[in-house]
Structure 1
């Protein structure tokens, strides 16, 4: 099966740092303006999922959720979580106090990959 989401080594290192400090984590990407355009990292359970939000997979044992409308737009794309040394538009994500911002690099799946994609989980 083909994963819909993975991360760079730099993102893995930051996730481990954040897990050591905060415990279990989750990611959420909305797709709206400002901080909604970048993935947000929260302590697991501290972001309330909305009806039909979609979990596209896990990164380092952390669920990666996206808004249902964003999923419809990007369901044929692979998400690669990365990190930049800057403070992004939002201030709610756990990496911000470290002067970092998570970002996603996208690429479109090939038809062969689409035929082998992992199932998603939908919040009902």
Structure 2
């Protein structure tokens, strides 16, 4: 049986990602649970954000890694993420899509028990 991914992307978000790829090249996504940006997913040029030991890569979006803060992952580890985009500016402005009047967001749903038994493996950041 094919392993299930933990993150997907909507067509609208994929369109913005492709535009960002054409301007910036390789990308990375990071979602924290802290202050400034709240829990809004952030898009950076690959390597433009420094990961912490224990941060978790839950999968890729169009070939770009999607990382979660290690503490946020513990809270959301039973959830599937769908990366979406909306018009407007989020709570901050560090993410690459912000100057284009867009904001990435995540739609969550809980995995079923069957899905939890068949998920793709995780990758943790370790110096």
| TM-score, with structure 1 as normaliser | 0.98
The Cα of 1:36 is off from its aligned counterpart by 3.1
2:113 pairs with 1:111: yes
Select the residue among 58, 61, 78 that pairs with 1:59. Answer: 61
- The whole-number CA distance in structure 2 between the counterparts of 1:95 and 1:65 is 17
Equivalent residue, structure 2, for 1:19: 21
The Cα of 1:37 is off from its aligned counterpart by 1.1
User: Across the two proteins, how many residue pairs are aligned to each other?
Assistant: 124
The Cα of 1:103 is off from its aligned counterpart by 0.1
Equivalent residue, structure 1, for 2:96: 94
- The whole-number CA distance in structure 1 between the counterparts of 2:95 and 2:15 is 16
| TM-score, with structure 2 as normaliser | 0.96
Equivalent residue, structure 1, for 2:84: 82
Runs of 4+ aligned structure 1 residues displaced above 3 Å come to none
CA RMSD across the alignment = 0.7
Consecutive unaligned residues of structure 1, counting only runs of 5 or more, are: none
Consecutive unaligned residues of structure 2, counting only runs of 5 or more, are: none
- What do the CA deviations read for 1:21-42 (whole angstroms, capped 9, x no partner)? 0010000000113413100000
